Every structure is written in structure tokens, then in C-alpha cells.
Amino acid sequence: MLTQDQLKLAVAKKALEFVPEDAIIGVGTGSTVNLFIEELAGIKGRIKGAVSSSEASTARLKAHHIPVFDLNEVEKLPVYIDGADEINHHLHMIKGGGAALTREKIVAGVADEFICIADEQKYVAMLGAFPLPIEVIPMARSYVARELVRLGGHPELRQGVTTDNGNVILDVHGLQIMKPVELEETINHIAGVVTCGLFARRRADVLVLGKQSGVEVLR
Ligand code: 5RP
């Protein structure tokens, strides 16, 4: 029986197959991505560098002497490689467990292909068991929380966390997300919401899924 960490390592290794030669690639955030960065370090001569979705990943990439580019200097990212907290069969995701959702959504938006690396515990029929992270401008915290209650959720302020953009995170419990695209749109329209942790409008293109039986690639 493989542990979750072993499954994360398996998908991190497999993800190298999606790294194009001589390109700048998008790199996400989290423990699975940390393992991917270790693997990337082994082939760093094959890429030009990376655009990172968080200060934490930037520090790791730089520690391996992988050049990190400002997104504004880069016109094209062939791939963005990142983890997820949950992913459904349509490759819609919940992200933001590491509080990096806004930069993740921006970098993912630029990329031609989103390669999600995840272990099988995160592959679900319906999103919502993992509390949905929402990045919020601090002054709007209570208002946004009330609106989220109206949508049927139970928002909780993530204690002691300020995002890389200086905002707070509300984690919304108790949602059974049957229509991810619609819910993302609705939450995006609440004033004060910076980013909703639903990645449905920009879903993953490829899922590299770590299973007990081996790594599967789903599209
Ligand atoms: C960070 C994220 C991560 O991709 C997500 O939390 C998964 O992390 P991990 O690989 O540690 O399970 O969205 O904001």
C-alpha cells in the first residue's frame, strides 16, 4: 500500500514528461509541486526557467538555481503544472489550500495547458467536501461571508493567514458543488472577492493521477 506522499512523488516524476524543451513553464504551489520542483531541478538545463505562483515556490525554484521570470515579461507559457485539493471527472478543481489561488489562477490563465498532478484521494465525483477557499479584500470579509451564507455555505476565516497579495482567506464548508462553473461565476461577482478557489472556467486539461495501481493520465 503506497502512502499519499509516495503517490505525490510518483505524479511529480511523471509530470516531467509534460515539460517542453527550452521553454518557460508555469509552476504552482503546494507539497506535490514541491516534489515536482525537486524533480525539475534534475533537468533544469532543458528549460529556460519558470513563472511561479507563489513566494514559496519562487524561493524553492531559486534555491535550485532555476531562473524565475516575472509573468509580465512572458508572453507564452506552454504548460502550467500544479496540484489541487479536489478534482472532479470533468477536471474542474478546488484549489487554494496553500492560499496561493489568485496567482495560481493568473498563471493558469496564461498557460496553453494546465497539467494537474494529484493523488487519488483528491479525485471526487462532486466537489465541496474540501472547504472552498475564497481570497477576499480584508475590509469586505464580513460582507462576503454573509453572501456566502446566503449561497448555503459556512465560511470560516483562515486564522493567521495573509496571502502573498495582502488579503485574507475564507474557507467555505458545507457546499455540495453540483454546478462548478455557475458557482464560480456567482462568487466572482460578490464585491470584495479577489478569487474563488473553484477552477472550473479554466479547468485542468490533463490530470496526472497517482493511484495504488499506478499513474494514470486523464484528459
Ligand atoms: C495551493 C494549492 C495546492 O495546489 C493545493 O492545496 C494542493 O496542495 P498539496 O499538493 O500540498 O496537496 O492550490 O494554493
Atom of ligand 1 minimally distant from the CA of 8: 10
Task: Find the catalytic residue in 17, 75, 104, 147.
Answer: 104
List all residues whose CB is within 6 A of at least one atom of ligand 1.
28-32, 82-85, 95-101, 104
Residue count of the chain: 219
Catalytic annotation on 75?
Answer: no
- Per-residue pLDDT 10s for the chain (219 aa) are 999 999 999 999 999 999 999 999 999 999 999 999 999 999 999 999 999 999 999 999 999 999 999 999 999 999 999 999 999 999 999 999 999 999 999 999 999 999 999 999 999 999 999 999 999 999 999 999 999 999 999 999 999 999 999 999 999 999 989 999 999 999 999 999 999 999 999 999 999 999 999 999 999
Q: Is 146 helix (H, G, I), strand (E, B) or coil?
A: helix
Model pTM?
A: 0.94
Atom of ligand 1 minimally distant from the CA of 32: 10
Helix (H) or strand (E) holding 155, with range, is strand 154-157
Name which of 85, 47, 53 is nearest 172 in CA terms: 85
**pLDDT score for 110:** 97
CA–centroid distance, 101 to ligand 1, in Å, is 9
Record the cell numbers describing residue 28, joined without a space.
504552482
